Amino acid sequence: MEDHILIRYGELSLKKTNRKQFVTKVTNHIKRSLSEYKNLEFESRGMRFYVILNNTPSNKVIEKLEKIPGVYSFSVVSRTASNLDDICKLAEEIVRKEIGTNATFKVETNRADKTFPMVSLDISKAVSRHLFINIPGLKADVHKPDFVLDIDVRNEGTFIYTKTYYGMGGLPAGCLGKTVLMVSGGIDSIVAGYLSIKKGMTVDAIHFESYPYTSDLALQKVVDLLEQISPYAEYLNINLFVVPFTNIQEAIYKHCRDDYGITIMRRMMYRIAERIAKARGALAIINGENIGQVASQTLESISVIENVVDIPVIRPLAILDKKDIMDISNQIGTYEISIRPYEDCCTVFVPKHPVIKPLISIAEKEESKFEYAPLLEEAIANTKRLVLHKDKHYDAIKKEFVSEDDLI
């Protein structure tokens, strides 16, 4: 009984040419994330993948499978030989155990094994008849049954189940290449990161820190947010680049028009993000911008800010409602972390009246009032890389994470 988990890939089936490679990526991800369960065995059959439980509790496996991009759905299934007697026997056993007696039901059969001597409809009818005869109180209801008993007749055996769980969907982690994620401690950017991972991108995170205006607690928030999404990522760990941003912000504050402060600050962030992206071989910058949310996210602002880089900038949240973003953040467990009250570097130097429709010419003129190039170089040279592992919690306050590694 219930000895296998049958896993189905979703969007994968659309991408014919890369299919094999994608399947390998998902199955490797599945195996890696389940590696602590030593009894498991795995069986790959074309577009399906089986985890053979060998007494491992299925709920533990399900928890892991829910976090693997490219897994569309899965079912805990029982397996038997592909002949009608065995199928009926197993169907009865499952209904008695999982459904009980007084219920309405429907049998659905998928006959992938075309050598099986009966067509799907006849198999469904024969099994239904067997259940009626042997389990009193059962009733058929083809429209709104209490449960559906799925029978999947395949060459390798017949699989019977009553419940399908939905996975994350999306594409296998890392199959579409590398990006950098601009991540703050807010609600949005981490959701943008999650959606990007879900869609097959690897992310290296970049956080701009304004120490001592922002505290270690603000950085801890970013670390905690990234750890929360690391189980979804390809290697189960995420690089975090922490860029010291204070000198740049102070220079902007000192030299530039107040209302252009944020525009220019964001142009500086983009410039540094592009440098790190190119050094890391990343093909795009991801951020949590959401059109119209604040002054720096009007279309005019976005175009003046983006003007300084020569790399695609992807904004997964661009047109979502705040409510939808919050729903996702609740679902992935980042919301509670994001609303911790620590200041972010953006909130420290906020002008009273930020420009809503900035002009490139004015932004450039303001930037020419100070030598920003050496400040960018200095920030990049002093950037620290932290490697966040899923199994190891980093304590930003104790600075346990500071790595001696080469920066970029």
Residues lying near Mg ion in the complex (CB under 5 A): 184, 186
* Total interface residues for ligand ATP by CB under 6 A: 19
Rounded Cα distance, 226 and 390, in Å = 9
Q: Per rule CB under 6 A, is residue 109 in the interface with ligand ATP?
A: no
Minimum CB separation of residue 309 from ligand ATP in Å reads 13
Q: Per rule CB under 6 A, is residue 288 in the interface with ligand ATP?
A: yes
Among 224, 227, 344, 367, binds ligand ATP (CB under 6 A): 344
Select the residue whose beta carbon is closest to ligand ATP and give its number. Answer: 186
Q: How is residue 116 written in tokens? A: 């099986």
Q: Per rule CB under 6 A, is residue 187 in the interface with ligand ATP?
A: yes
Rounded Cα distance, 189 and 207, in Å = 11
Q: Please, which residue, 70 or 186, has the CB nearer to Mg ion?
A: 186
Long-range contacts of residues 399-408, Cβ cutoff 8 Å, at least 24 apart: 399/216, 401/223, 407/241, 407/380, 407/381, 407/383, 408/241, 408/276, 408/279, 408/280, 408/380, 408/383
Among 183, 256, 332, 337, binds ligand ATP (CB under 6 A): 183
Which among Mg ion, ligand ATP, none contacts residue 296 (Cβ within 5 to 8 A by kind)? Answer: ligand ATP
Which among Mg ion, ligand ATP, none contacts residue 182 (Cβ within 5 to 8 A by kind)? Answer: ligand ATP
Cβ pair 385, 403 in contact under 8 A: yes
Q: Please, which residue, 109 or 184, has the CB nearer to Mg ion?
A: 184
User: x-or-dash pattern for ligand ATP, window 350-369, by CB under 6 A?
Assistant: --------------------
Minimum CB separation of residue 77 from Mg ion in Å reads 45
Q: Per rule CB under 6 A, is residue 184 in the interface with ligand ATP?
A: yes
Q: Please, which residue, 127 or 192, has the CB nearer to ligand ATP?
A: 192
Q: Per rule CB under 6 A, is residue 293 in the interface with ligand ATP?
A: yes
Question: Which residues touch 209 (CB under 8 Å, ≥6 apart)?
Answer: 218, 219, 242, 243, 244, 245, 246, 345
User: x-or-dash pattern for ligand ATP, window 191-230, by CB under 6 A?
Assistant: ---------------xxx----------------------
Q: Please, which residue, 172 or 316, has the CB nearer to ligand ATP?
A: 316
Minimum CB separation of residue 398 from ligand ATP in Å reads 22
Q: How many CA atoms lie within 13 A of 134 on its CB side?
A: 16
Minimum CB separation of residue 404 from ligand ATP in Å reads 23
Q: What is the residue type of 79?
A: R
Pick from 87, 93, 167: which is nearest to 125 by CA? 87
Which among Mg ion, ligand ATP, none contacts residue 227 (Cβ within 5 to 8 A by kind)? Answer: none
Rounded Cα distance, 365 and 306, in Å = 17
Which among ligand ATP, Mg ion, none contacts residue 295 (Cβ within 5 to 8 A by kind)? Answer: none
Which among ligand ATP, Mg ion, none contacts residue 287 (Cβ within 5 to 8 A by kind)? Answer: ligand ATP
Rounded Cα distance, 147 and 134, in Å = 17
Minimum CB separation of residue 203 from ligand ATP in Å reads 11
Which residues sit at the interface with ligand ATP, rule CB under 6 A? 182-184, 186-189, 206-208, 287-289, 293-294, 296, 344-346
